Each structure stands twice: as structure tokens, then as C-alpha cells.
Amino acid sequence: MRAAILLAGMLMAGTAMAADTSGEDAKPADCAGETPIALLLCRDASLAATAEKLESALRMLTDEAGKAGEEAVAAGQRAWVQRRDGACPVAEADLADAKKVKERAACLARQMAERTKALELELAARRVPVADEPLTISAAAPQRPVPASGQGQTKPGAAKRKANVPALTGRWAKADPATRTPIDDCRTSYLEITSDGAFSLHDPRIAAFPLEGPLAPGEGDVAEGLSFGGEEGLPEGTLRLDAADAPRLDRLFLTLDQPDFGATFVRCR
């Protein structure tokens, strides 16, 4: 089962070679029948070497994740493939243009090198002994007391920024809901939402993670609770943003249905 999932992830990544390109007698025709990206990977020896490093990193992470985490690793790889294809589109006509081939190959090499590094960091994090830290924190932040009329502060506080989907962009660290104190390092354990709507949740201590995919916001308002997920391997959940007067003071509340998860996040610094 594990081998099948791993192989499927590598094939979707376009890193499985259709032919051996290491020998001098290897011919482009040996790569016939593949997608344009797979053809380019098959024909370019340097790309093939980069792909082999990616496959090796993916295989080691899958082995380390075990039965409980192998599907999460495969889902993360599928999500990465979609991002890679969007960043480095390769058309069949491009393969006949030497300049475009060089440009597309350079783009793919960057994407694969970055992905390999991310997989290696994830592997290293999983091999570190589990720290005695909470994995799940209540997503319900404590309510701030409102002074009675004529008591306490008389001046109104600064107006908050508008809470919208673009304001979710950035990397977030799990934090104590009462003190806003980060409890994760933002390198191996974090929530990240990119400007193009890619969602990525990492915690090497939780077998179901990493979770990656398109945010695909659904019903609701981000200030009250915005639903998301349910497709492309990303579980259903809710995001709520408490937008402060300055972005560095924002708090983000996340809940997931499966796996059952809830946490408060603050922006990484």
C-alpha cells in the first residue's frame, strides 16, 4: 500500500523517468507517450538528476511517516504538483524551441530543488524527539472584558483593519490564545497561506500533517468564520481572523473537522 501511494505521488509529480537517459545511446524517442513536463524531465539529464533527489527525499519522508502519515505525504505531493504545473507550464510546442526548453528546465529545477529542501526539513523535524508542548489549543480566544460606561478607559481604541481573505496571507505560528505567545518555530511547524490561495499546515508531531491544497474559500465571512476545503485533499475547516490595528497583532483561529484540530495562530516574525 505504501509503495503504491509513493509511486502514485512520484508519477503525478512527473519525476518518474520513462527511459534511462544516463547512457550516450539514449534517444528522445524513448520518452514518447508522456506529458510535456515528463518528456522534458526524461530528456534533460540534469533535470533527471534533480528529480532523483526529489524522489529520494519523498521516499524517505514516506517511510518515516509510516502507515498513519503516508496518505498525508502523498496528498502534499499532489498539491505541490499542481503548484509546480502552475509555476512552470510546459506545452508540447515548447519542446521544439531551444530557448523555451532552457527556460522551462530552469523553472522546473528551481521548483524541484525547493520541494526537495522542504521534504528534507520535514524529515528532519519528524526525527526530532517530540517536545512537551501542546499539539492542539482551543480555537476560542478568551473574551476581553468591556469596561462599563464611565469606568476604566474613556478613549476609544484604534479602529481595526478590515478582516478579509487577502489579510490571511503569510506564515503563522501556533500560539497561546490568551497571551499571543508563539509556541512553534515557524520553520518546521506553521500555517502558511499564500497570495494565490495555497494552504499549507505543518506539524511533524501530528501524523496527519502536512496538509496542503488550495484554500478554496466557501461560505461565511473571515471575521466571523470562513469555511474552506472539502476538495483537492484538503479537509473541511473554518478560519476566523481577528484583525488588529496592526498586522503583527492579528490572531487567526483555525478549526479542522478531520483530523479534529483547533488552534490559535499569530504571524511569524
Q: What is the pLDDT of residues 85-118, one digit of tens each?
A: 989 999 999 999 999 999 999 999 999 999 998 8
Q: Decide: residue 249, CB within 10 A, 0-12 exposed, 13-18 middle, 19+ buried.
A: middle
Q: Which three cell numbers stand for residue 131?
A: 517536545
Residue-range domain boundaries for the chain: 2-127, 165-267
Q: Which residues contact 233 (CB under 8 A, 6 or more apart)?
A: 75, 78, 79, 211, 212, 213
Report pLDDT digits (tens) over 171-188.
999 988 777 788 887 888
**Unique residue bearing C-alpha cell 520541494:** 115
Give every CB contact of residue 123 below 8 A, 6+ residues apart in sequence.
57, 60, 61, 64
Q: Which three cell numbers stand for residue 250?
A: 492579528
Average pLDDT value for residue range 5-14: 44
Q: Which pLDDT value is given to residue 66? A: 80
Cα–Cα distances (Å) from 76 to 18, 92, 160, 195, in that order, read: 23, 27, 35, 18
What does residue 47 show for φ and ψ, rounded to 5 degrees? -65, -40
Q: State pLDDT tens for residues 213-266.
A: 888 888 888 999 999 887 666 888 999 999 888 888 899 999 998 888 889 999
Question: Which residue's C-alpha cell is 490571511?
Answer: 168
pTM: 0.52
The whole-number average pLDDT for the span 46-56 is 92
Residue given cell 545511446 in the structure block: 25
Burial class of residue 236 (count of CB atoms within 10 Å of its CB; 0-12, 13-18, 19+):
middle
Residue with cell 483561529: 253
Closest CA to 239 of 253, 260, 251: 253
